[in-house]
A = this chain, B = another copy of it.
């Protein structure tokens, strides 16, 4: 049986759709990842206005954000299209993400407190319960997973990391690997998280970093097996 990817979607703050530029961002993003947008597809700003229901000004704001996340790319003549990630770029994204999440875990280990541990245990409890059901509740799993990694990022206390990491956790990979993971894979994610919590409790930054690196790199290899039928190692 096959499910979905451990790491995903810390960035999208699904709340606060108040600002038009935020709704534009969300809707265009959704269009690219789950809607009719396929890699290489040309998109005019006007088209994006139709998709998001707002005018060009907030659309342009959203576009700039999506460009930073490399979900949209701009041709030499400033025309927009949906990004088409090469295999090498996806591999690179995993590598960079492993480095930065490792670093975040190391910092979090140094700054963790009792309240943080409690919150991490709560979230991971929910994650584990969601997986252990007869048919795993993927949506809840993904949400809990996001919360778990967000908490680590919070305790890393690095504004710079908080700005950099979300851009690496974007969804083209999720889109290409949705429902790819087995129940055992999902359970292993929960166990990784448990070990991370143990490392945090021990304030052992090397341990925390190593577990996090394993966590991400396992996802990387599972991704390879699932999408290309071979292991990159």
Interface residues of A (CB under 8 A from B): 57, 60-61, 64-65, 68, 70, 88-89, 92-93, 95-96, 99-100, 103, 157-161, 163-164, 167-168
B60 touches A161 (CB 8 A): no
What are the residues of chain B within 8 A of A92 when measuring CB–CB? 158, 160-161
A160 touches B61 (CB 8 A): no
Q: Interface of chain A, helix or strand or loop or mixed?
A: helix
| Copies of this protein chain in the complex | 2
B70 touches A68 (CB 8 A): no
What are the residues of chain B within 8 A of A95 when measuring CB–CB? 103
B161 touches A70 (CB 8 A): no
What are the residues of chain B within 8 A of A167 when measuring CB–CB? 163-164
What are the residues of chain B within 8 A of A99 when measuring CB–CB? 99-100, 103
Contact of A96 among B57, B70, B164 (CB under 8 A): B164
